[in-house]
């Protein structure tokens, strides 16, 4: 960093420390210490015996064109194009990017953890490194050498912050070009994923500064020193093999200093800016070993405030394109696309109890929805838009046809507009239906698909986004994915979350998602509270349950369920929330995509205030009958044929027998499926007489045995009480 940047950084840091140490109680929004999506993917890889490396060996070479819009399902960069795993491919962090999906840079590594070297001074965090690219030759329509006359340009979109944390001015995003030097150097230590149960027993933990040696099959002498508290059910990435790689000489081509997204928009009049860079140094770069890479400098806010030590400094990169025959004006693409993911068609909620919806369906539906449609080309298109709704395991369907409409280029028109013309039929389509009321059913699931495409059959451009509308036994404002963590930093501080009923109901439990923090700093007692409404803010406390602790799970979307000691009747408007017993931030999951801020209140001074942040908490009330209903039909007539023991289960192994048959060989193609009380599939495998359910949280579950040969499905219930 330049001296001026360092001085600015030190002054700003000094001011921040003073503010933190002298400020009164407040609400706090932080980044995540862990990325739960990556953690879930690593768990799957570990189960398959796969490892993860920061750089990939035996990388394939790419011919031009090189292009990636990150419109994919996988969370890591695609192996056929990229040689690194650091960045997180997702549709959540980018805000109004070129299309759905971007590569997100932050302070979390490829294993989903905060970088061990993370600190208050800027450090290099995530890399996005291309595979080798043949910049010496082209092969179509005929093989020949590339020259400067071929006009090679490299382009990409980028934005700071997005829906995450804004990088400070001393942080940056950097682009470099590179080629092999001809020498080999130490590249990296390849790693393997090892469950911690190979090192410790249940109930034991590994503490910071404990030493873990690599397993015997790895290079001798390799070890790591733990930087955080690790638990029995964690998976750890261990060094295994030392890898030599060809040395690459890297040259910095471009960089951008950090800033807030609103400042970025004010400066460039766009939320996602595209750059085009000519590649003209033929002597240096026109070789068969050309590569490019992005990386970011990140820094944590303060080592002196543990709850602020979390993920930070987000950048999003999209639409990376390298090719010949381009120019400085070649900034458009023959592409019409959605720039954001699909939304719930409900007015307030992402999902809600089916019985509550059925008692006032008209007022629960949005008048219209909003889809962000963009034309990345330099010419207008006549487009056709529609969306359709299909009930899963039901007969209901609905089709909306938005007809044709002209879509001018984004650079001169912006997104498709919700005006009085045909644009409104595409960008703000009406919701002129209600979901089927499913008499006799206590749950339902609907699949919604949006489609935009060229109006004529010959015009093949287009895009699709999808959404699942869930009606189970809980309310949710959030989409289930935390981009940050929320809480208050005051002892006895309280947070309340408002929900509105259509008919009186019974509150049975509260589900909460807690983000892990370094060394489990937020593992503190709290009090679960339920309030009546008092003229638009929390009033009388009608339920409290003390001495609770945050529940941490290793699986994505696995919320901790806090069952109430006794059912609580609720009517009209009620609030759920907590009071903390320390000044530490409890760090509950925060969804930055769905905005329920009008329903979030906090109290650190004796007066209730609405949150100043935009988003929603991952906190959900569970209502309805006693927890027999799971949102799934049960085959009670045949239930006795499925024998489960021990039940309740405490040791993590469930034994399964089917009446009249013994042995796994009788069921070569049969399946076992386990659903939680919310109707979510949490376990799925082929039939076995013994299954490991130690990963499942305490609660009631439905297990279903399906035999495709006979077409029969047998259901049973069991309880887990570790």
Reported as a single tens digit per residue, the pLDDT across 170-218 is 999 999 999 998 887 776 677 888 888 888 888 888 888 888 888 888 8
What is the overall mean pLDDT for the chain? 83
DSSP string, 165-215: PPPPTT-EEEEEEEEEEEEEEEEEEEEEEEEGGGTS-TT-EE-TT-EEEPP
Q: Encode 327-396 in three state secondary structure.
A: CCCCCCCCCEEECCCCCCCECCCCECCHHHHHCCHHHHECCECCCCEEECCCCCEEEEEEEEEEECCCCC
Cα dihedral sign, 583-584-589-595: positive
The pLDDT value recorded for residue 679 is 65
Query: How far apart, in whole angstroms, are the C-alpha atoms of residue 476 and residue 289?
Result: 50
Q: How does strand 62-63 pair with strand 494-500?
A: unpaired
Residue 477 CB neighbour total at 10 angstroms: 27
Instruction: Choose from 352-356, 678-682, 700-704 the range with maximum mean pLDDT.
Output: 352-356
Nearest to 50 by CA among 8, 18, 81, 79: 79
Residue 602 CB neighbour total at 10 angstroms: 24
Residue 542, pLDDT above cutoff 80: yes
**How are strands ordered across the β-sheet holding 484-488?**
27-30, 484-488, 588-591, 616-617
Q: How does strand 144-145 pair with strand 291-298?
A: unpaired
Residue with more model confidence, 48 or 169: 169
The token pair at 500 is 């509105």
Cβ neighbours of residue 669 under 8 Å, at least 6 residues apart? Answer: 686, 707, 708, 709
Cα 150 → chain centroid: 41
Query: How far apart, in whole angstroms, are the C-alpha atoms of residue 196 and residue 233?
Result: 6
Q: How does strand 62-63 pair with strand 133-134?
A: parallel
Cα 596 → chain centroid: 18
The token pair at 198 is 């190979």
The pLDDT value recorded for residue 257 is 95
Query: How far apart, in whole angstroms, are the C-alpha atoms of residue 349 and residue 596?
Result: 9
Residue 693, pLDDT above cutoff 70: yes
Phi, psi at residue 452, to the nearest 5°? -125, 135
| Count of CA atoms in the C-beta half-sphere (13 A) of 394 | 21
Mean pLDDT throughout 434-447? 89
The pLDDT value recorded for residue 112 is 64
Residue 636, pLDDT above cutoff 70: no
Residue 655, pLDDT above cutoff 50: yes
Query: How far apart, in whole angstroms, are the C-alpha atoms of residue 264 and residue 268?
Result: 6
Query: How far apart, in whole angstroms, are the C-alpha atoms of residue 343 and residue 396?
Result: 20
Residue 268, pLDDT above cutoff 90: yes
Question: Interior CA angle at 454 toward 453 and 456, to 5°?
Answer: 130
Cα 74 → chain centroid: 11
**How are strands ordered across the β-sheet holding 494-500?**
538-548, 526-533, 573-580, 494-500, 600-603, 609-610
Instruction: Tell me the pLDDT tens digit for each residue of 372-415.
Output: 999 999 999 999 999 999 998 889 999 999 999 999 999 888 99
Q: Which domains does the chain have, with CATH numbers?
A: 31-323 (2.60.120.260), 341-471 (2.60.40), 484-623 (2.60.120), 636-720 (2.60.40.3080)
DSSP string, 621-653: EEESSSS---SS---GGGGGGEEEESSSB-SSE
Cβ neighbours of residue 224 under 8 Å, at least 6 residues apart? Answer: 211, 212, 236, 238, 239
Q: 542 near 404, Cβ under 8 Å?
A: no
Q: With bands split at pLDDT 50, 70 and 90, how would you rate the model's confidence at 518?
A: low
Least confident residue range of 1-15, 262-276, 338-352: 1-15
Residue 91 CB neighbour total at 10 angstroms: 21
E strand map for 45-145: 62-63, 66-68, 88-90, 102-105, 123-129, 133-134, 137-138, 144-145
pTM of whole model > 0.75?
A: no
């Amino acid at each position: 960093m330049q001296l001026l940047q360092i001085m600015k950084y030190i002054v700003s840091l000094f001011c921040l420390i003073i503010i933190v140490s002298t400020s009164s109680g407040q609400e706090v929004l932080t980044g995540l210490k862990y990325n739960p999506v990556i953690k879930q993917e690593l768990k799957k890889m570990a189960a398959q015996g796969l490892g993860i490396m920061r750089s990939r060996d035996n990388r394939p070479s790419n011919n031009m064109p090189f292009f990636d819009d990150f419109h994919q399902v996988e969370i890591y960069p695609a192996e056929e194009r990229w040689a690194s795993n650091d960045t997180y491919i997702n549709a959540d962090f980018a805000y109004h990017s070129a299309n759905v999906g971007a590569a997100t840079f932050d302070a979390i590594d490829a294993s989903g953890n905060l970088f061990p070297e993370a600190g208050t001074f800027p450090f290099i965090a995530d890399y996005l490194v291309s595979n080798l690219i043949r910049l010496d030759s082209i092969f179509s329509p005929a093989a020949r050498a590339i020259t400067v006359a071929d006009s090679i340009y490299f382009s990409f979109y980028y934005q700071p912050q997005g829906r995450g944390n804004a990088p400070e001015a001393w942080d940056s995003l950097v682009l470099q070009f590179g080629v092999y030097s001809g020498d080999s150097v130490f590249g990296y230590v390849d790693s393997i994923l090892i469950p911690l149960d190979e090192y410790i027993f249940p109930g034991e933990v590994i503490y910071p500064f404990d030493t873990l040696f690599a397993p015997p099959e790895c290079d001798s002498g390799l070890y790591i020193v733990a930087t955080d508290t690790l638990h029995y059910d964690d998976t750890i990435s261990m060094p295994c093999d030392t890898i030599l790689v060809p040395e690459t000489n890297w040259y910095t081509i471009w960089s951008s200093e950090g800033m807030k997204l609103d400042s970025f928009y004010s400066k460039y009049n766009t939320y996602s800016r595209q750059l085009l860079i000519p590649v003209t140094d033929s002597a240096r770069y026109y070789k068969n070993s050309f590569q490019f890479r992005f990386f970011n400098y990140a820094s944590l806010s303060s080592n002196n405030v543990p709850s602020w030590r979390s993920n930070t400094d987000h950048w999003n990169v999209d639409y990376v394109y390298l090719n010949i025959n381009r120019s400085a004006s070649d900034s458009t693409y023959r592409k019409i696309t959605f720039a954001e993911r699909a939304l719930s068609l409900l007015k307030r909620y992402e999902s809600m109890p089916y019985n509550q919806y059925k008692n006032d369906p008209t007022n629960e539906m949005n008048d219209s929805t909003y889809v962000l449609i963009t034309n990345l080309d330099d010419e207008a298109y006549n487009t056709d838009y529609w969306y359709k709704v299909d009930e899963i395991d039901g007969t209901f369907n609905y089709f909306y046809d938005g007809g044709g409409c002209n879509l001018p280029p984004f650079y001169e028109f912006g997104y498709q507009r919700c005006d009085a013309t045909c644009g409104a039929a595409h960008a703000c389509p009406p919701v002129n239906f209600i979901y089927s009321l499913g008499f006799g059913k206590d749950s339902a699931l609907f699949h919604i698909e949006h489609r935009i495409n060229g109006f004529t059959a010959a015009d093949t451009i287009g895009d699709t986004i999808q959404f699942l509308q869930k009606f189970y036994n809980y309310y949710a404002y959030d989409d289930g994915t935390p981009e940050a963590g929320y809480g208050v930093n005051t002892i006895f501080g309280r947070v309340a979350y408002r929900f509105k009923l259509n008919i009186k109901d019974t509150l049975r439990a509260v589900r909460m998602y807690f983000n892990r923090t370094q060394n489990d700093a937020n593992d503190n007692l709290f009090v679960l509270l339920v309030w009546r409404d008092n003229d638009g803010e929390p009033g009388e406390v009608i339920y409290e349950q003390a001495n609770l602790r945050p529940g941490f799970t290793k699986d994505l979307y696995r919320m901790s369920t806090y069952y109430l000691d006794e059912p609580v009747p609720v009517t009209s408007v009620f609030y759920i929330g907590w009071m903390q017993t320390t000044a530490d931030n409890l760090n509950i999951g925060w969804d930055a995509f769905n905005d329920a801020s009008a329903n979030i209140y906090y109290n650190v001074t004796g007066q209730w205030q609405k949150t100043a942040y935009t988003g929603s908490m991952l906190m959900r009330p569970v209502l309805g009958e006693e927890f027999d209903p799971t949102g799934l039909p049960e085959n009670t007539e045949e239930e006795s044929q499925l024998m489960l023991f021990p039940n309740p289960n405490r040791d993590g192994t469930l034994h399964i027998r089917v009446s009249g048959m013994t042995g796994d060989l009788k069921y070569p193609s049969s399946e076992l499926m386990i659903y939680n009380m919310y109707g979510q599939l949490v376990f799925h495998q082929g039939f076995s007489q013994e299954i490991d359910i130690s990963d499942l949280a305490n609660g009631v579950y439905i297990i279903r045995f399906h035999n495709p040969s006979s077409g029969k499905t047998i259901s049973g219930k069991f309880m887990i009480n570790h």
